[in-house]
Structure 1
Amino acid sequence: MSEKKNDQDLLKKKLSRRAALSTAGKVAAGVVIAGVVAGVGGYYAGSAAAPAKTETVEKTVTKTVGAETVTETVTKTAPGAATTVTETVEKTVTKTVTVGTPTAKPYEGVKLTVVSIDWLLCPIKKAHKKEWEDLSGGSIELVAVPYGALYEKVMTDFVTKTGAYDVIVYPGGWIGDFAGGGWLENLEPYMEKYGYPLKADILPACRKVAEWGGKLHSLPYDGDCHLLYYRKDVMTNPEYQEEFKKKYGYDMPIPPKTWDQVRDVAEFFNGWDWDGDGEDEYGIAFIAKRGTQAQWTLLDLIAQYNVIHGPITNYTGNMFFDLETMEPLIGE
């Protein structure tokens, strides 16, 4: 009897929502939670006797196998009055994700053989080789050949069709023999297919060295600036200047402006101890060792005649041979 009276007293009280829920929790200890909510909810709805509405929430517990997790929550609400009963149901969803095998590198197992003189292979050896191998999966074999033997070794491989080399790093002056003989690939189709952003950065003069028939058959790899260095401290010596003028009839040029002047200055300083170290000195030094890049020095000396000022003749633009008779224009 006392329990019924307590329940009636509770319903007559004007409680706040927080207080109502708190009190309901105390009263309903050990009682089904749906009954407590229904009893307290009637205070706000104005009808303690209204039929209960059941709201079912499916709480999804996701179990993931693989690399991806997908969670799905479904809520179902039954129609009815404002009084609600909340039930929570756990639903387990399992999604299996298959993680694929990493894609193999594009050139796994491929070997490229690169031939050149040793010092031209240095940048490949020190910087590019490992990077390319790591990215591509392929490997690079470097074959170093003395400069004097490079042309013969490569040309022999071409003619015999041995196919020992995939990439050749060579002096640009040989492109006439290599590309003109049909031994080098035209690179333009590959650039169009795969792209080569650096193509626009190739200077026109360097591009011409790598072209044959207007198409790139090589890529510029190494370029040189040939400079004339002179000893200003020696050439400004008043005593030497006076002796030079007596011998050649003009003031010593600092620096020489023509090849004739270069010859005179070199001759003047050649064969005597002009720096006071007790040894005779040379008047000039060139790259002229046999079997190396001696032709560079030759080109330095004769290239100017290819663009020499004056009327156009049969020889303008021709450095080596008369185009009609094929007689050499340079003596031995």
Structure 2
Amino acid sequence: MYSPMDKRGNLSKKLSKKITRRKALSTAAKVGIAGVVGVVVGAVGGYFAGSAAVPPPQTTTVTQKVTETVTSTVGAATVTETVTATKTVVSTKTITSTATAPATPTEWKPKLEPAEITVLSSPDCADYLKYAAEEFMKLYPQVKVEVVPLSWEALYPKILSDLQSKTGAYDVFTIDVMTLGSVVEAGAASFDKIMKENPDIVDPNLDIADFEPTYFGYGSVWAGEIYGFPVYPNHMFLYYRKDYFEDPKIKDQFKAKTGKPLKVPETWEECIEVAKFFTRDYNPDSPTEFGIALMFPTTHTMMYNVLNWIGPIRQSPTGISKYGKLDLYYGDYCTEDGKVWFANEDGARAVKLIQDLLPYSPDPFGSDYGETIAQFSAGTTAMCPQWSVPYGDFVKALAGGDLMKARDIIGVEMIPGIVDQGQLVRKPVSGGWALGINGAISDAEMRAAFVFAEFATSKEMDLIHWTKFVMPPARMSNWEKPEAKEVLSPALFETYAKSMRSLSYRPRIPQEPEMERIGNPMWQDIIAGRKPLMDGLEELASEWQKLVDQFKHPEK
């Protein structure tokens, strides 16, 4: 059985102190990034001005296929990584909006009645949405917008309770991508219906086709109907101490110990070797106490984090041949026809790769989102798999808030993967948020809520939430803008764009919350070795299959 603190004792009080997810996320907007955003803030004032652009297309397809081939060296072998945007069947339908755009106005500003709307927000969206609310109320002083942040653990039950009870206590809410099926079933409003019944509030520059199509289809569209607009797509990255990886002395030490050049790991096997080198118990000369910050708690973090290891096996050429194409209703834990697949040698391989990393992490079962951010920020680890928003925390802690200095200290790469049939397959877990609307609110609140959702996810605001709040852009038109690429970290942006075409996915069926409740502690028992590996995988797969079987696929 693995004991996370074997041979190493406890971390300092600073690291052992629990950090709430909200507190960890709140610092991202306080790094000093606001000082570099002036170039885009001016765009907000022009959001409603000069809107006589071409009306949005009435038909939008949410699937897109993009193939990228990358040749790289893994160990001693040269491998080819082929990245395809959609090997998926989330929806092969064309989404047709029945809304009619206003006829080329010189200035578009729909009429809204006085209303008060409350936005229930995840912590990582809250600072941005408060900013967006303030800007929105300048344009619509008759509409009062209050943003209420809640931790993920409290947010999701609160949203479902309010939707199911139809009390309408909250008008707008952030949708975690894998909870889409649950909120639709509970009573979220159809955006297609809102647009059809209120064509005057459809922005002529809405441009639904500009949202990144795979993410839009996964996080906002259910059974061919729109239930939200993307706030930001996200996925996990591998952060690493670039200053250490490029230090000649450290590189020489690694070569002397391993016979290999030190590089950022591309496979989990390479990551194990590098993490061991940067763990002081195994290398007294290491500049860090541990090699990698890992998080496998019994919270929702477990559900998504395991996919960084499961995903590349599931979506490898061998995995596709065994388990079929990826269906984004079921995600990577299931086969194309909805069978939980991992109670076999492939699932065992993923778990063993995780287990082999555990000795080189401070406290993998006691650490969650906030703890791993603190560990990397304190210089305790050389690597840290994390989401985009903590980059702000890392800049503040490791570079004193200096964005240019941070480029030489903090490196960003794709999450490692596996080599299968000569191909490097890396599938970082996807995430992100959309804005949904409560289906049980009044007409005046519904109209105000929809216009706010349009505003907060507009092209102008999409760019601002990247440059000011480190929330990646959902709008493809912003991907090529110099300020998007350069203002924070070119490496972070380039890795984000590259990873966006190669992700793993959680299930988004209504049964997902129950899958988490049952699965999170079972996964920890399996990974910690408290249960025999195959017995544990078989038990978990059996329990999950009972839940998946309850789901009626809307397209099959």
Relative to the length of structure 1, the TM-score reads 0.56
CA contact (8 A) 1:253 1:261 kept: no
- The alignment status of 1:190 with 2:194, answered yes or no, reads yes
**Structure 1 stretch 155-164 or stretch 105-114: which is displaced more?**
105-114
Deviation at 1:219? 0.8
**Superposed, which structure 2 residues align to 1:73-222 within 5 Å?**
106-132=111-137, 134-135=139-140, 137-179=142-184, 181-191=185-195, 193=199, 194-196=201-203, 197-198=205-206, 199-209=208-218, 210-222=220-232
- What secondary structure, in the 3-state scheme, does the structure 2 residue paired with 1:221 have? strand
Equivalence for 1:299: 307
Equivalence for 1:259: 268
Cα separation, partners in 2 of 1:315 and 1:268, compared to 1, 3 Å: farther
Consecutive unaligned residues of structure 2, counting only runs of 5 or more, are 1-109, 348-521, 524-556
- The alignment status of 1:282 with 2:290, answered yes or no, reads yes
Aligned counterpart in structure 2 of residue 240 of structure 1, from 242, 245, 254: 254
Deviation at 1:136? 5.5
CA contact (8 A) 1:147 1:291 kept: no
Cα distance in structure 1, aligned partners of 2:139 and 2:133: 10
- What secondary structure, in the 3-state scheme, does the structure 1 residue paired with 2:292 have? coil
Deviation at 1:287? 5.7
Deviation at 1:325? 7.7
Cα distance in structure 2, aligned partners of 1:274 and 1:223: 39
Cα distance in structure 1, aligned partners of 2:244 and 2:144: 53
CA contact (8 A) 1:118 1:145 kept: yes
Greater relative CO (CA pairs within 8 A, separation 6+) = 2
Cα distance in structure 1, aligned partners of 2:291 and 2:333: 28
Deviation at 1:231? 3.4
Cα distance in structure 2, aligned partners of 1:325 and 1:201: 31
Match of 2:323, as an amino acid? N
Equivalence for 2:517: none
Among the aligned pairs, what percent are the same residue? 22
Consecutive unaligned residues of structure 1, counting only runs of 5 or more, are 1-104, 246-250
Match of 2:244, as an amino acid? V
CA contact (8 A) 2:133 2:146 kept: no
Deviation at 1:170? 2.6
CA contact (8 A) 1:114 1:140 kept: yes
Cα distance in structure 2, aligned partners of 1:183 and 1:152: 14
CA contact (8 A) 1:252 1:265 kept: no
- What secondary structure, in the 3-state scheme, does the structure 2 residue paired with 1:114 have? strand
Equivalence for 2:323: 314
Cα separation, partners in 2 of 1:255 and 1:264, compared to 1, 3 Å: same
Aligned length: 219
CA contact (8 A) 1:107 1:136 kept: no
Deviation at 1:328? 6.3
Q: Structure 1 segments of 4 or more deviating over 6 A?
A: none
- What secondary structure, in the 3-state scheme, does the structure 1 residue paired with 2:237 have? coil
Deviation at 1:238? 0.9
Query: Which digits, 9 at most, give the CA deviation of each residue in 1:281-316, with x for residues without a partner?
Result: 111124656657554433333332342113523354
CA contact (8 A) 2:274 2:291 kept: yes
Cα distance in structure 1, aligned partners of 2:128 and 2:164: 29
Cα distance in structure 2, aligned partners of 1:150 and 1:264: 39
Match of 1:183, as an amino acid? G
Query: Which digits, 9 at most, give the CA deviation of each residue in 1:8-36, with x for residues without a partner?
Result: xxxxxxxxxxxxxxxxxxxxxxxxxxxxx
Cα distance in structure 2, aligned partners of 1:270 and 1:264: 10
Cα distance in structure 2, aligned partners of 1:327 and 1:123: 37
CA contact (8 A) 1:232 1:254 kept: no
CA contact (8 A) 1:234 1:275 kept: no
The structure with more radius of gyration: 1
Equivalence for 2:69: none
Match of 2:126, as an amino acid? L
What CA RMSD, in Å, does the superposition of the two structures yield over aligned residues?
3.1
